[in-house]
């Protein structure tokens, strides 16, 4: 039976790499996929991995009906044996409903990839709808690590290396941005709660007052 599968995890845990691997494995067997993406780091109309792999994709527009797009594509003689939707957290709930309809009415597997929560630890609306509708939710087993070495569970937005907790939910950035611009960092829950990024941890470690040693 066709399925709607949601692959979730923090940033930097290999979601897009897995999406590209699924595309490669199926295309190598003669299958053709429809790839949707939104706000990819490589630019519009791309699905890319931090490992340097990239392929073309359909850039999802605001208000676009993904089910109608697939029906139109198939009606014009196009082919789609499965669907990949990367950066699915940026889709609106109605578009997730449309992907579910693709599974149920068109009989196609849909593989959606995205992060679950934003930099404030709040659910993205698209991810929330996927959790509600997906036949399966798969948490990726490639663990991203916090700067302390613990498993990273939260995404932090940074400005000048310091964590921020206010601002628009969607600001495109990456974990490899330079310290003087908006970027993202994955943290364990403890350091996300303390708003302690790698940069602020280094600054604290340089302070002579961090661990006072009593005189003897």
Cα gap 152→172, rounded to integer Å = 20
- Give the span between the Cα atoms of 193 and 176, in whole angstroms: 22
In which region does residue 167 sit, left (phi positive, over 0), alpha (psi from -120 to 50) or beta (all else)? left
Q: Could you say which of 23, 87, 132, 143 is catalytic?
A: 87
Q: How far, in Å, CA of 192 to CA of 120, rounded?
A: 9
Q: Is 166 a catalytic residue?
A: no
Rounded to 5°, the CA angle 16-197-182 comes to 60
In angstroms, rounded to a whole number, what is the distance separating the alpha carbons of residues 19 and 13? 12
Catalytically annotated residues: 87
């Amino acid at each position: 039976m066709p399925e709607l599968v949601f692959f979730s995890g923090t940033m930097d845990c290999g979601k897009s790499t897995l999406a590209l691997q699924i595309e490669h494995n199926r295309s190598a067997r003669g299958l053709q996929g429809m790839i949707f993406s939104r706000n990819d780091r490589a630019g519009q109309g791309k699905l890319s991995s931090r490992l340097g792999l990239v392929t073309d994709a359909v850039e999802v527009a605001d208000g676009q009906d993904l089910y109608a797009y697939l029906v139109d594509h198939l009606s014009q003689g196009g082919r789609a044996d499965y669907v990949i939707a990367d950066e699915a957290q940026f889709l609106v709930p109605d578009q997730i409903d449309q992907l579910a309809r693709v599974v149920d009415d068109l009989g196609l597997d849909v593989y959606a990839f995205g992060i679950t929560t934003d930099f404030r630890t709040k659910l993205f609306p698209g991810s929330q709808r996927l959790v509600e509708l997906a036949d399966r939710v798969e948490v990726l087993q490639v663990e991203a690590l916090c700067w302390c070495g613990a498993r990273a569970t939260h995404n932090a937005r940074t400005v000048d290396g310091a964590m921020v907790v206010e601002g628009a939910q969607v600001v495109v950035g990456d974990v490899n941005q330079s310290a003087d611009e908006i970027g993202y960092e994955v943290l364990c829950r403890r350091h996300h709660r303390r708003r302690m990024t790698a940069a602020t941890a280094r600054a604290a470690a340089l302070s002579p007052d961090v661990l006072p040693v009593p005189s003897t």
